[in-house]
Amino acid sequence: MLFANPHTKHLAMVLVCLMMLACQQQTEEKKPTHPSIPKDEVLLSPNSPKRSYIQEAIVELSVRPLLDPVTGNVVYDETRTVRVSSPISGRVTGQIARLGSYYKAGQALAILDSPDLGQAQSDYVKALADQNLAERTFKRQQELFEHGVAARKDFDQAQDDLQRAKGETERARLKLANLGVKGINSGNQFALLAPISGEVTERNINPGMEVRPDLPAPLFVLSDLSHLWVLMDIFEKDIGLIRLGQQVSVKVQAYPDQNFPGTVDFISRVVDENTRTVKVRCVLPNPQKKLLPAMYAMVEILSGPKDQGIVIPLNSLFTEGESDWVFVALDDYHYLKRPVKVGLRLKDKAVITDGLKPGERLVVHGALLLRTEEDAEQDGNGETNQ
């Protein structure tokens, strides 16, 4: 544009400068002012969507873990488990115990028709009869000997026959006793009795089946499932952390949010040369019978009840430089970044030796999100500066 008058040109330039100055003032008036946030602190605005991703927990003292959870197997408590086989040959004729049912000691698990039982009872009856005859013979020979009528050798023979008859009777009685038979019963019916009280967890018997004492598999497995064992392999480098009576915490996949307490009651004195591990057994109470034999388990070895510390989730930590850091809550959605010292770092948790106190509010989920927010604030591009 051309200005014929120099005064007009000067006036136009003044107007342009005034307009630019007015725009700059308007821009500065629109820029909001925010309180200054100290270093290592993060403040989320009330409308920040990041609030929903932040989770906090109160820091508490708990029993310190000693090492990472160890895989284990839930098995029968062999002191409360029996595998029942038939002590005699026979054919299954009566009702058979149902799988999963509870039976008291002495209850019949199955009824067999056994000719061998009939033979054993017959032998006992015959032995009793022979003993009675031998007793009468001995008394008669004793009277004759005392009156000088019978010879000494006849008296000695009668005494010897009586001892033999008593021995045979006792042998026949013990055979019946080993079969669980008391007295003489008519017929060949043999009741296979439960030796202990427990649940039928396995059954390898069917109606009409011919059973023998030498069958490879037991007919029944009975177990008191209110007590189980957990077997685990501990590496030899960690075996020094395990002691008898030590408490453990067991988890299984069926109940991922529940811990089952147990106690170490056996530590093997032999190291497996191939795996360099030592067998450790724990007693596991199971009053609600939620746990089942053959379940896989994760076993956490605990220190003594008085050996407590601050244990936090591993995702609460983040690394910056050569230090570990956490966020603690100062107020509602106002957080402070703080360095901490880690004593033991496990797969999913960490033991803190310095930097946290019981009662503080720790960010257990969203720490990295707050770390990003802190960087944005320092750069002037965070949510609080928008």
Residue 36: predicted pLDDT: 67
- What pLDDT score was predicted for residue 381? 45
| Distance between CA atoms of residues 31 and 15, nearest Å | 25
pTM of the model: 0.67
- pLDDT at position 172, please? 86
Contact 341, 319 (CB under 8 A): no
* Among 156-160, 209-213, 313-317, 374-378, the least confident range: 374-378
Q: Tell me the percentage of the chain whose pLDDT exceeds 70.
A: 87
SS3 242: coil
Mean pLDDT of 56-83: 92
- The Cα–Cα gap between 91 and 114 comes to 7
Q: What is the distance in angstroms between the CA of the first residue and the CA of the last residue of the chain?
A: 40
Mean pLDDT of 294-311: 89
CB 352 within 8 A of CB 33: no
Model pLDDT, residue 34: 46
Averaged pLDDT score across all residues of the chain: 86
Which regions of 272-333 does DSSP assign to beta strands (E)?
A: 277-285, 296-301, 308-313, 318-320, 323-331
| pLDDT at residue 100 greater than cutoff 80 | yes
pLDDT for 175: 85
* pLDDT band at 23; cut points 50, 70, 90: low
Q: For residues 150 and 215, which has the higher predicted lDDT (pLDDT)?
A: 215
385 pLDDT band (50/70/90 cuts)? very low
What is the average pLDDT across 141-145? 86
Which H, E and C letters describe 188-236, residue by residue?
Answer: CEEEEECCCCEEEEEECCCCCCEECCCCCCCCEEEECCCEEEEEEEEEH
Q: Which domains does the chain have, with CATH numbers?
A: 41-63+308-385 (2.40.420.20), 70-78+223-301 (2.40.30.170), 115-185 (1.10.287.470)
Helix (H, G, I), strand (E, B) or coil at 103: strand
* Burial class of residue 54 in the structure, from the number of CB atoms within 10 Å of its CB (0-12 exposed, 13-18 middle, 19+ buried): buried
Cα 299 to Cα 281: distance, rounded to the nearest angstrom: 11
Our CA angle for 360, 364, 365, nearest 5°, is 145
pLDDT bracket for residue 173 (50, 70, 90): confident
Contact (Cβ atoms closer than 8 angstroms) between residue 124 and residue 169? yes
Neighbour tally for 179: CB within 10 Å: 20
DSSP letter at 68 equals S
Give percent of the chain above pLDDT 90: 56
Separation between Cα atoms, residue 138 and residue 158, nearest integer Å? 5
Give the pLDDT score at 28.
Answer: 47
| Contact status, residue 249 vs residue 300, Cβ threshold 8 Å | yes
Which residues lie across from 193 on neighbouring strands?
108
pLDDT at position 384: 43
| pLDDT on residue 17 | 60
Res 146: pLDDT = 84
Q: What are the tens digits of pLDDT across the range 174-223? A: 888 887 777 676 678 888 999 999 999 999 999 999 999 999 999 999 99
Type of residue numbered 221: V
* Amino acid code (one letter) for 199: E
**Residue of 244 and 382 predicted with greater confidence:** 244
Q: Is 384 exposed, middle or buried (CB count within 10 Å of its CB: 0-12, 13-18, 19+)?
A: middle
